[in-house]
Structure 1
Amino acid sequence: MKKILVIIPAYNEAENIKKVVDKIEHEFKELDYVVINDGSRDSTAQICKDNSYNIIDLPVNLGLAGAFQAGLRYALYKGYDYAVQFDGDGQHNAEYIIPMMEKAECDGLDVVIGSRFLENKKGKSLRMLGNTLISILIFLTTGKKVLDSTSGMRMYGKKMIDKLAYNMNYGPEPDTIAYLIRCGAKVGEYPVTMNERIAGESYLSFTNGIKYMFHMVTSILIVQWFRKRG
């Protein structure tokens, strides 16, 4: 069995984190995990400590990119073969992690995206419209079809862990996926289902959603072309 680390960035997830981690601990004992408490202002860190969870407690909020990179550095230091980006809000399902790893091994993939749309059609909403637009931009700039470009459940192989752990500007977002494809990384998708958020509110409000789309579009169409391939 390859060594797999589930990285769980958590910012103000006190209402969700226990359900998420307990399920992994009790039902998926073959998986290792680490909670990255991203400077939460609620009791997320205390809940993790009270339950003896494996936690890295960041003193300040670094955002998703910084928190996930902290997890990748831990994965690199501990010698993991795969690292999985896994939300702390209960939307992702751990039963897909081993099949995603098997997909990576079988097809020689560097990145496996947990895709909601390999077997199901996209809904009709502004968020899904944004997902489709980003997928089109990735195809236009890389020639690679990625059906679920905004999925937050992604598995990275050892080469990607090495590449992303200490380099700047590698946020766990669609523009990084586009850049990695252009650098020669092999990216595939595996069908998954996702849940609605258990509790709390997503950071992606309407205003933040507009900002996010602007950033992704400009990054994929413009910024990525000025980055040195490695």
Structure 2
Amino acid sequence: MTGRVLVFIPCYNCEAQIPRVLKQLEAPEVQAVVDGVLCVDNRSTDGTREAAQAGLAKLGYAETALLHNDDNYGLGGSHKVAINFAMVNGYDYLVVLHGDDQGAIADLVPHIAAGRHKDLDFLMGARFMKGSKLEGYSLLRTAANHTFNLIFSAISGQRLFDLGSGLNLFKVEAFKSGFHLKYADDLTFNYYLILGVVRNRFRLGFFPLTWREDDQISNAKLSKMGFQLLRIVSFRLFKPAAFFATDHRQTPRAAYPSTRIA
């Protein structure tokens, strides 16, 4: 038994890509290890919700759900919506598969089938470790990611091969303390998360994957993300106690309500 596994797909303006992402979940080897599928739409302005609803209707899983965030929670906020959904509905593991179709769940499935996740709390896809392949990824972005991976590894005291790709597996029980709730709700959520994972001494592993960029529109601008990463690094390095005690959200919330569409 692999434990009950929920695939969470965060969506934002990915009308063209979400049908391809959901198509991945039709493969028999995926269905053998996955129990449910959850799409969380963060208030898309295109036809993402309709495309997701149509794609979910074609899947034969025991549970599929499409949630629409009641407010703009950002990528990190959508993670918190999904983590709560997994807790409430009795799932043991949460797989994060971004809705823009840059990653393939096929890279993770063999690890679940082999039971590797049972000995870990977090199993993270790593675009920059040996065995990974990058398709259409610029040399500048690759170099910047390698640099920050080394910096985060140095300040955390543990080798980190990626600070946050769009394909990961989390043990749901790891979030029961709520340690993640004060992390930023925007695209930097994963950076705070991985530092928190190391600080809380969770069991962390990585796996190689294939990552591609073709028709996706990235919301992460290299220069802006670089400055945000430097700010996070400086805060964590010079004021570690304050870093983990601070609420890093621009809009602190007591809850992250969403509306179930399908």
TM range, normalised to the smaller chain? Answer: 0.7 to 0.9
Q: Give the 3 Å change call, closer, same or farther, for CA 200–192 of structure 1 in structure 2.
A: closer
More helix by percentage: 1
Deviations 1:82-140 (A, max 9, x none): 111211011111113333332222xx211111123132588873322332232222222
Q: Provide the TM-score with structure 2 as the length reference.
A: 0.75
Identical amino acids, percent of aligned pairs = 21
RMSD: 2.6
The answer for the alignment partner of 1:210 in structure 2 is: 226
What is the SS of the residue equivalent to 2:31? Answer: coil
The answer for the alignment partner of 2:26 in structure 1 is: 25
The answer for the alignment partner of 2:164 in structure 1 is: 150
The answer for the alignment partner of 2:173 in structure 1 is: 159
Is residue 39 of structure 1 aligned with residue 43 of structure 2? yes
Query: Matched residues in 2 for 1:69 and 1:215: separation?
Result: 23
For 1:85-96, list aligned pairs within 5 A.
Answer: 85-96=96-107
What is the SS of the residue equivalent to 2:25? Answer: helix
CA apart distance, 1:18:
1.1
Query: Matched residues in 1 for 2:102 and 2:177: separation?
Result: 27
Query: Matched residues in 2 for 1:6 and 1:223: separation?
Result: 36
- Larger mean CA deviation between 50-59 and 179-188 belongs to 50-59
For 1:124-203, list aligned pairs within 5 A.
Answer: 125-164=139-178, 167-169=181-183, 172-197=189-214, 199-203=215-219
Query: Matched residues in 2 for 1:224 and 1:127: separation?
Result: 27
Structure 1 unaligned residues grouped into runs of 5+: none
The runs of at least 4 consecutive aligned structure 1 residues that moved more than 4 Å come to 120-124
Residues matched between the structures, number: 225
**Amino acid across the alignment from 2:131:** E
Contact kept in structure 1, 2:83 and 2:172, CA below 8 Å: no
- Larger mean CA deviation between 15-24 and 152-161 belongs to 152-161
Is residue 81 of structure 1 aligned with residue 131 of structure 2? no
For 1:93-132, list aligned pairs within 5 A.
Answer: 93-101=104-112, 102-105=115-118, 108-116=119-127, 117-120=129-132, 125-132=139-146
Contact kept in structure 1, 2:126 and 2:207, CA below 8 Å: yes
Contact kept in structure 1, 2:86 and 2:172, CA below 8 Å: no
Contact kept in structure 1, 2:98 and 2:167, CA below 8 Å: yes
What is the SS of the residue equivalent to 2:211? Answer: coil
What is the SS of the residue equivalent to 1:174? Answer: helix
Query: Matched residues in 2 for 1:145 and 1:104: separation?
Result: 19
